[in-house]
Amino acid sequence: MAAIIGPKSPSNIAVLLSTCDTFQIPLLLTHWIPRNLTRNHVINFFPDSRILAKAFIKFVENDNWKSFTLIFEDNEALIRLQEVLQLPTSDKKNQVKITLRHVKPDQDFTKFMKDLSKLRENNFIVDLPLHRVRELLIAAEKINMTTEYQKYLLTSLTEAALLYDALLSLSRALNEIDRGRAIQLKSLQCDGTDVWEYGTIIANHMKMLKISKTNTFIRKPTDLPHASTGLSPSMQQKPFPEENKNESRKWIKKCLGSELLISV
């Protein structure tokens, strides 16, 4: 085992941190964790919520939003977006009216969007799982709320893209380290005292890598041309060189087809 990917639930993070520190195993995080972790063997691929919030605020300010509605399902969204919710609400010159709309996991969006249309709101920040985002936009389209007047800022990050970033970084680290020494995997027992001798080396190497993220923000996607769903194209990063991608894909396939990775 070369690394552990996870966890999907923040409730398991304490156990994983202890395990990875004890056995010196890299822990690759691809989900939001409510606090910053500065541990030797942790590599977090989920962008810092404060950095994301600053980007969202910049978008709202540049687009001169005077009001918006935050549509959210998980209360953790209020923590992730707390800086956005602290935008000026009392300064008359820069006042931003903010409305919160909580939705249930099984809530039908047809009536929900009809109710929102009556409020004449055109700006929306949507913090929902990706499959729910699709349902919301389909419901919005049915009642003509995907015109050039409506703007949707989607905060949901694609889990598959973050996972790809993690695997790409791990595969590149393994590939580069393996050039100077032959990496040998080692079986570790939960009640044993052995550690993985390459774990710390790989974790440190991954932290030094500069890999362009695949999870870029996209504005005006082709499947919904009038919905503004992110930052402008100028914020996108340059693609990872194709020759490095091809080299790394070989390692990714090897990782997924072996016991190099454990996903929790």
Residue 263 has pLDDT above 70, yes or no: no
**Higher local confidence (pLDDT), 263 or 59:** 59
β-partners of residue 70 are 100, 125
Residue 37 has pLDDT above 50, yes or no: yes
The DSSP call for residue 99 is E
pLDDT band at 91 (very low <50, low <70, confident <90, very high): low
Please tell me the pTM assigned to this model. 0.71
**Higher local confidence (pLDDT), 218 or 109:** 109
CA distance 98 to 78: 13
Question: In this structure, what token pair is assigned to residue 174?
Answer: 């393994």
CA distance 262 to 196: 15
Range of lowest pLDDT (42-51, 58-67, 106-115, 147-156): 42-51
Question: Which class for 168: exposed (0-12), middle (13-18), buried (19 or more C-beta within 10 A)?
Answer: buried
Residue 94 has pLDDT above 90, yes or no: no
Helix, strand counts (H, E) of the chain? 9, 8
The size of the chain, in residues, is 264
pLDDT tens, residue by residue, 120-133: 899 999 999 888 99
**Higher local confidence (pLDDT), 101 or 208:** 101
- Look at residue 163 in the predicted model and tell me its pLDDT: 86
CA distance 200 to 2: 11
With CA atoms as reference, report the closest residue to 132 among 148, 109, 149.
109
- Look at residue 78 in the predicted model and tell me its pLDDT: 92
Residue 149 has pLDDT above 70, yes or no: yes
Range of lowest pLDDT (79-93, 102-116, 151-165, 222-236): 222-236
Helix, strand, coil shares of the chain as percentages rounded to 5?
40, 10, 45
Instruction: Label each residue of 116-180 as H, E or C.
Output: HHHCCCCEEEEECCHHHHHHHHHHHHHCCCCCCCCEEEECCCCHHHHHHHHHHHHHHHHHHHHHH
Residue 80 has pLDDT above 70, yes or no: yes
> Residue range 41-66: average pLDDT?
89
Contacts of 210 (CB under 8 A, 6+ apart): none
> Residue range 133-155: average pLDDT?
94
CA distance 261 to 197: 16
pLDDT tens, residue by residue, 179-195: 877 777 777 777 777 88
- Look at residue 17 in the predicted model and tell me its pLDDT: 87
